[in-house]
């Protein structure tokens, strides 16, 4: 069992979405033989404005109870010594981004306790997918693997720098869960020059041939699509157990934390989505928490901070 890190970090706040994310994380930790860290963030920024110690005590106690419930479930499926509880002090997205630096992956539900009806992706999941380091898995609501054969792991391939770590992660997942790897190449991503699509397809086939040679124990399926990456990946993910995407693709703007294709997958895919950031990459956002007040400050701009307050995603993830 892996003990030199937080292992798999699951954001948990007791919501239905967090429960589904926790179930996914428990399954993954069992397959990997990794420690599972169940993390709940309490006393978000707005509580500091109240200046009432009793409010903090109440929030902390409620957090302990919710966290204990999640850890009890995880401990019933895993070895109890393989489950850690972390009651963290600060905004949920910031806490999880900080934890991602010592984790194998971070797992969150697509939505927590937000009150905005119809929102497909909550602001905590959005911010963690944008700013965490390493793989971030976002588990959608009402996704269940039970009572059906496990589908393939799907990964988008476009020869971009961010594509390589995504492919490596997808290969490990396919091997771990003993399912095929379906690699998808969308030719609409080809450079707008004569023969660009043909060159992209040839590069894709060459890369997959090398992948098959390096990983003979993984069945690699290839799919070349004429349409856009969004359309091709969402179609391929219909029967998938996991969709893996790099944080940005060929068309990504330098410095962009999350590309448009990864964003579309997070909003519309019906299966869990893994957004893989290169190992050395971190956004540098959400860096510190005041130990006294629990108020976080940031070294860069965090999109959707206003949405975080409006949606009411207060504790957990």
Q: What is the pLDDT of residues 35-44, one digit of tens each?
A: 999 999 876 5
Residue 1 — very low, low, confident or very high, per pLDDT cuts 50/70/90? very low
CATH fold match for the domains 7-143+282-311 and 153-271: yes
Mean pLDDT of the chain: 80
- Asked whether 232 and 225 are in contact (CB, 8 A), the reply is yes
The pLDDT of 86-111, averaged and rounded, is 92
Residue 61 — very low, low, confident or very high, per pLDDT cuts 50/70/90? confident
Distance CA 186, CA 215 (A): 23
Residue 57 — very low, low, confident or very high, per pLDDT cuts 50/70/90? confident
Q: 284: buried, middle or exposed (CB in 10 Å: 19+, 13-18, 0-12)?
A: exposed
Distance CA 11, CA 46 (A): 20
Distance CA 236, CA 238 (A): 6
Phi, psi of 34 (to 5 degrees): -105, 155
Residue 293 — very low, low, confident or very high, per pLDDT cuts 50/70/90? very low
Q: Is the pLDDT of residue 84 over 90?
A: yes
The pLDDT of 125-154, averaged and rounded, is 86
pLDDT tens string 172-200: 999 999 999 999 999 876 665 556 788 88
- State whether CATH 3.40.50.620 applies to domain 7-143+282-311: yes
Q: Is the pLDDT of residue 166 over 50?
A: yes
CA-based torsion, 304, 306, 309, 314: positive or negative = positive
For domain 153-271, give its CATH number from 3.40.50.1100, 3.30.70.270, 3.40.50.12370, 1.10.3720.10. 3.40.50.12370
Q: Is the pLDDT of residue 144 over 60?
A: yes
Across 104-118, 222-236, 274-288, the highest mean pLDDT is recorded for 222-236
> How many other β-carbons are positioned within 10 Å of the β-carbon of residue 26?
24
Chain-centre distance for alpha carbon 254: 21
Q: What pLDDT score was predicted for residue 279? A: 66
Kindly give the pairing relationship between strand 135-139 and strand 181-186: unpaired
Distance CA 126, CA 11 (A): 13
- Asked whether 92 and 317 are in contact (CB, 8 A), the reply is yes
The pLDDT of 100-118, averaged and rounded, is 80
- 3-state class of 278 per DSSP? coil
Q: What pLDDT score was predicted for residue 191? A: 60
Q: What pLDDT score was predicted for residue 278? A: 78
Kindly give the pairing relationship between strand 135-139 and strand 273-276: antiparallel
Q: What pLDDT score was predicted for residue 195? A: 66
Domain definitions of the chain by residue range: 7-143+282-311, 153-271
- Radius of gyration in angstroms for the set of CA atoms belonging to the chain, rounded to a whole number: 20
pLDDT tens string 234-285: 999 988 999 999 887 655 555 567 888 899 999 999 999 999 987 654 444 4
CA distances from 123 to 136, 139, 316 (A): 14, 14, 12
- Asked whether 295 and 311 are in contact (CB, 8 A), the reply is no
Residue 90 is classified by DSSP as: S
212 CB-side CA count, 13 A: 13
């Amino acid at each position: 069992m892996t003990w030199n890190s937080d292992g798999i970090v699951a954001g948990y706040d007791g919501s239905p979405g967090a429960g589904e994310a926790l179930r996914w994380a428990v399954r993954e930790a069992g397959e990997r033989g990794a420690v599972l860290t169940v993390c709940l963030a309490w006393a978000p920024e707005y509580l500091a404005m109240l200046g009432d110690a009793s409010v903090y005590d109440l929030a902390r106690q409620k957090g302990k109870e919710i966290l204990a419930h999640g850890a009890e479930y995880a401990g019933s499926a895993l070895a109890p010594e393989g489950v850690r509880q972390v009651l963290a002090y600060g905004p949920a997205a910031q806490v999880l981004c900080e934890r991602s630096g010592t984790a194998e992956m971070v797992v969150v539900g697509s939505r927590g306790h937000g009150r905005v009806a119809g929102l497909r992706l909550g602001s905590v999941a959005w911010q963690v997918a944008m700013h965490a380091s390493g793989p971030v898995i976002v588990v959608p609501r009402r996704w269940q693997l039970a009572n059906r054969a496990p589908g393939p792991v799907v990964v988008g391939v476009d020869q971009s720098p961010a594509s390589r770590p995504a492919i490596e992660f997808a290969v490990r997942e396919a091997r771990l869960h003993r399912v095929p790897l379906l690699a998808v190449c969308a030719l609409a991503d080809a450079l707008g020059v004569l023969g660009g699509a043909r060159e992209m397809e040839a590069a894709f086939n060459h890369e997959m041939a090398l992948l098959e040679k390096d990983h003979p124990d993984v069945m690699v399926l290839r799919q070349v699509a004429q349409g856009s990456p969004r359309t091709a990946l969402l179609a391929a993910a219909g029967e998938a157990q996991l969709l893996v995407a790099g944080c940005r693709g060929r068309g990504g703007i330098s410095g962009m934390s999350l590309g448009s294709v990864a964003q579309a997958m997070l909003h519309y895919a019906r299966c869990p989505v893994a957004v893989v950031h290169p190992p050395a990459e971190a956004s540098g956002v959400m860096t510190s928490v005041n130990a006294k007040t629990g108020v976080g400050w940031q070294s860069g701009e965090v999109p959707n901070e206003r949405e975080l307050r409006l949606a009411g995603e207060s504790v957990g993830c």
